[in-house]
Amino acid sequence: MSQLNHYFQEAFQQSIKTGPIIFMHWFWDENMNPIDFVSPNVEAVFGYSVEELTSGKTRLIDVFVEEHQAIFISNVKTHIENKDTFWYESYEIHSKDKQIKYIRTYSYIQEEDILSNMRSVYTYVIDETALFQQLNEKELLATRYQVAIENAEEGVWEWDTELNHVFYSDDWKKMLGYESNEISNTFKEWEQLMHEDDLQNAKTTLEQYIAGQLEKYESEFRMLHKDGTYRWILSRGKIIFIQDKHLKKVMIGTHVDITEQKNTAALLLKRNEELEVLLKQIKELSITDPLTSLYNRRKILEELEEAQQTVKYTKESYSIAIIDLDFFKRINDTYGHSVGDETLKMFAAFIQINVRGQDIVGRWGGEEFFIIFPETTDVQAYDVLERLQKNFAKNPMLIKNHSITITFSAGIAGSGVDTSVDEMIKQADRALYEAKELGRNLIVKYAKKQS
């Protein structure tokens, strides 16, 4: 598998240097749309250097022709409002030498970044200028039709909509692995080769275009290759009028095999999904105590700051408690550190299970634990801890054939109008110290006299 990944990375690196597909990573913010990364082949295809685009000298929005700038912004807004994660669009842009280029974009958007308040977007761009011009220049299609069939790399098809006569070029057939005489020039042949899940939608799109309900015909679907696999096909066409014995209405178009692009898009999507999972795992590790799986000290401090901000708006008080296992050192000295670790894990699980659903539990360090009681007075927090203390005392822990009975002491502090997070922690710590001084296995609420 590692060798396969190596080959894939080599092929990918080569494609972004010399290939026709431009890869780009940018951010959506409605104004600047800064580009974070663009593949080096952008200069060969459109004339802009990587430095021009990533430095902001040339903004992403300025590359589009004027009338397509608003369309681009509107399309992205619509996809975000619809919560789309993947979409494709066609636009007109300026190359650096001011030539009009027609591009096809395939984009995948991530969730909003908390730090930058911007959406991260991965896009790959295909230059379809040649294909677009071929489909939109009626005179070229009419007067040089045979030359186009012989020289086009795409598969060309023609459909006489009045007589229902169909013609497929040799390249159209070779695209699906067939020789010229192996596929008949009939509309039914197209239907039979179509994937059953795509057929109805493909026919509907074609019918809507012919009926004038769509401005242009463009459809993507899967067709059966001679080798038994399905290939993704991009079909585009245009109705023109050809003077033969009489003026007849004909639809002419092309088929392009976009299987590789589809696979690239799917792979890009998969890689981003894997990256999201990895980032989530990394985030979880950064806020989790590895021994007990509770929140670590860093995460508890973040939750405290959030609780403090909430108090400013809701005026609802909250309380905190620092818990210490009494004489925990004796367990390590008597039974060894492995039993001590198991004791900490079992105590952590006990607290997590027995606190209220809204309470936040973490390991403060060593044998100390921390609980945040949202919208709770110090008296109410005392009642919760007293219940925990009684339940814990009833159930000795059985660890590696050792029956271990242990108690805990706790110090409680309640939030005040002008009390900072640091002050609350110090108050809870003083109350815990007093609980130990008074003989342990006690719960003490902080009072001003303790300071």
Write the CATH number for 445: 3.30.70.270
269, part of any domain? no
**Distance (Å, rounded) from C-alpha 1 to C-alpha 218?**
38
355, part of any domain? yes
**Distance (Å, rounded) from C-alpha 220 to C-alpha 324?**
65
Q: Which of 244, 261, 278 is the last residue of a domain?
A: 261
**CATH classification of the domain holding 234:** 3.30.450.20
Q: Are residues 10 and 48 in the same domain?
A: yes
Task: Write out residues in the chain with pLDDT < 50, as ranges.
Answer: 1, 114, 142, 148-149, 451
- Walk across the sheet containing 247-257 and list its strands: 165-168, 155-160, 247-257, 230-243, 217-224
383, part of any domain? yes
Query: In Å, what is the CA distance from 314 to each residue of 60, 307, 357?
Result: 43, 10, 20
Q: Are residues 331 and 403 in the same domain?
A: yes
How much is the pLDDT for 197? 95
b or e along 298-314 (b: 16 or more beta carbons within 10 Å of the residue's beta carbon)? ebbbebbeebeeebeee
If we measure between CA atoms, which residue out of 311, 435, 432, 298 comes closest to residue 373?
311
If we measure between CA atoms, which residue out of 259, 270, 301, 311 comes closest to residue 419?
311
**Residue 442, token pair as written in the block:** 């006690």
Q: Are residues 21 and 149 in the same domain?
A: no
Four-CA torsion 137, 142, 146, 148, nearest 10 degrees: 0
Q: Are residues 340 and 371 in the same domain?
A: yes
275, part of any domain? no
As a residue count, the chain comes to 451
How much is the pLDDT for 151? 52
139, part of any domain? yes
CB neighbour class for 440 (10 Å; exposed up to 12, middle 13-18, buried from 19): middle
Q: Are residues 223 and 371 in the same domain?
A: no
How much is the pLDDT for 381? 94
Q: Are residues 182 and 328 in the same domain?
A: no
The tens digit of pLDDT for each residue in 132-180 reads 776 665 555 545 555 544 555 678 888 887 778 888 888 889 999 999 8
Residue type, 29: D
Q: Are residues 314 and 360 in the same domain?
A: yes
How much is the pLDDT for 120? 86
How much is the pLDDT for 412? 95
210, part of any domain? yes
Q: Are residues 242 and 309 in the same domain?
A: no
Where do we find the tokens 């080569």? 14
Q: Are residues 312 and 443 in the same domain?
A: yes
Q: Where are the alpha helices (DSSP H) in 97-224?
A: 129-136, 138-143, 145-151, 170-174, 187-193, 196-210
Q: Which of 88, 105, 127 is the last residue of a domain?
A: 127
pTM: 0.45
**Distance (Å, rounded) from C-alpha 287 to C-alpha 299?**
5
Q: Are residues 150 and 114 in the same domain?
A: no
Please count the structural domains in the chain: 3
Query: In Å, what is the CA distance from 205 to each residue of 84, 198, 315?
Result: 21, 11, 58
The tens digit of pLDDT for each residue in 76-101 reads 889 888 988 898 898 999 888 989 88
429, part of any domain? yes
How much is the pLDDT for 319? 94
Q: Are residues 293 and 197 in the same domain?
A: no
Q: Are residues 202 and 310 in the same domain?
A: no
Q: Which of 76, 109, 127 is the last residue of a domain?
A: 127
**Distance (Å, rounded) from C-alpha 73 to C-alpha 60?**
11
312, part of any domain? yes
Residue 421 lies in domain: 288-450
